[in-house]
Each structure stands twice: as C-alpha cells, then as structure tokens.
C-alpha cells in the first residue's frame, strides 16, 4: 500500500484509481451513514472520494504507515465539516424565512402601491426573502428580535446596552436597505 501511495503522490493516476477502488466500500458506507441536509447520496460519495484524494497528498508515509486509519479519520472530519456548513445554511434560510414572513410588506413599500393581488404579494415576498439574504448577521438579528420575537426597540437596545436612538437608526437603515433591494429586484 505504501508503494501505491508513493506512486499516487508522484501523480500516477492509475495508483490513485487503485486506491479509490480499494476504499470504495468505505465510500459507500459513508454515503449511507451520513445524512447532510440538501445533499444526495452521490454528493456524499463524491465528497468522500475527494477526501481520499486529498488524504493521499497529505499523508506522510515517514510518520505513519496506517493509511486506512488516516483516510477514515479524514472522511469523518470532512463529513462533520459538511454537516456544519449544511446546518448553517439550513438555519440561515429558516431565519431569513421567519424574518420575511414577519415583516409586513407595507412597512417597506409606499402606501399608494396596490398590493391586493396574490401574485404581486408572492413576488414581493420572494424579493423580500432575497433582500434579507443580503443583510449581515447584525441586521438580521435586529429584524429577528423585532419582527419574529416581538421585542420592542427599547428592549433590544437595553439588551445590547445601546442607546434607543441608535437602535432606531439601525432599524431605519435596515428597512431602507430592504426597500432599495426591493426596488432593484423589481
């Protein structure tokens, strides 16, 4: 196995293919052992294969001769990283949805715009969701606190030990930013 790894490190594609073939049962086991939000089994298998290829490059044959253990640990670590990224995306989308569903669209657009048709409302909500995705985490936290959790500006200011007028200014700036995004997205 060590000779195969050395050949693979030198760019021998056949050696890389042999190593990947040898670890295919581990790749399959990984694909059925892990669930990652938004990923298919084939996506997980591809990540495992890429991790094996990276492990070939990073493995130091002088320090260890247990390549299979190194590969297993590398795949486990990579899967945990992918799970963390997917979880972050899931909760980010969930937060964006909560904020988008809680903000009254009439707070952002002019009162004289007729939004009685369902189609227009749906489009506005989609655009609002996209605009919220563009906000930074502090801006989302402010909107989440006010619109989802139902906190007052005063309570939010006290919680962060900020002055009320600064929080109100922040909210007004965020709402203006959303309004600008909605105008751009139309």
pLDDT digits (tens, 9 = 90+) for 56-85: 888 887 777 788 888 999 999 998 998 888
Reported as a single tens digit per residue, the pLDDT across 32-63 is 888 887 788 888 889 999 999 999 888 887 77
The secondary structure of the chain as a DSSP string is -HHHHHHHHTT-HHHHHHHHHHTHHHHHHHHHH---TT--HHHHHHHHHHHHHHHHHH--TTT-S-HHHHHHHHHHHHHHHHHHHHHHHHHHHHHHHHHHHHS-GGGTS-TTS---SHHHHHHHHHHHHHHHHTS-HHHHHHHIIIIIS---HHHHHHHHT--HHHHHHHHHHHHHHHHHHHHHH-
Q: What percent of the chain has pLDDT over 70?
A: 85
User: What is the topology classification, in CATH, of domain 2-91?
Assistant: Rna Polymerase Sigma Factor; Chain: A (1.10.1740)
Weakest-pLDDT range from 85-99, 100-114, 134-148, 155-169: 100-114
CATH no. of 103-185: 1.20.140.160
In the chain, where the domains are located:
2-91, 103-185
């Amino acid at each position: 196995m060590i000779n195969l790894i050395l050949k693979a490190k030198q760019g021998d594609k056949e050696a890389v293919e042999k190593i990947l073939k040898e670890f295919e049962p581990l790749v399959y086991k990984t694909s059925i052992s892990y669930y990652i939000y938004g990923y298919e089994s084939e996506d997980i298998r591809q990540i495992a294969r890429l991790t094996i290829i990276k492990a070939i490059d990073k493995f130091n044959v002088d320090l260890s001769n247990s390549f299979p253990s190194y590969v297993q640990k590398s795949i486990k670590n990579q899967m945990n990283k992918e799970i963390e990224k997917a979880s972050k995306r899931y909760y980010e989308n969930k937060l964006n949805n909560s904020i988008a569903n809680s903000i009254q669209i009439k707070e952002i657009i002019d009162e004289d715009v007729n939004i009685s048709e369902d189609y227009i409302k749906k489009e506005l909500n989609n655009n609002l969701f996209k605009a919220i995705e563009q906000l930074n985490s502090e801006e989302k936290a402010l909107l989440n606190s006010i619109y989802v959790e139902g906190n007052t500006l005063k309570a939010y200011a006290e919680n962060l030990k900020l002055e009320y007028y600064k929080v109100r200014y922040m909210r007004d700036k965020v709402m203006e930013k959303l309004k600008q995004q909605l105008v751009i997205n139309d």
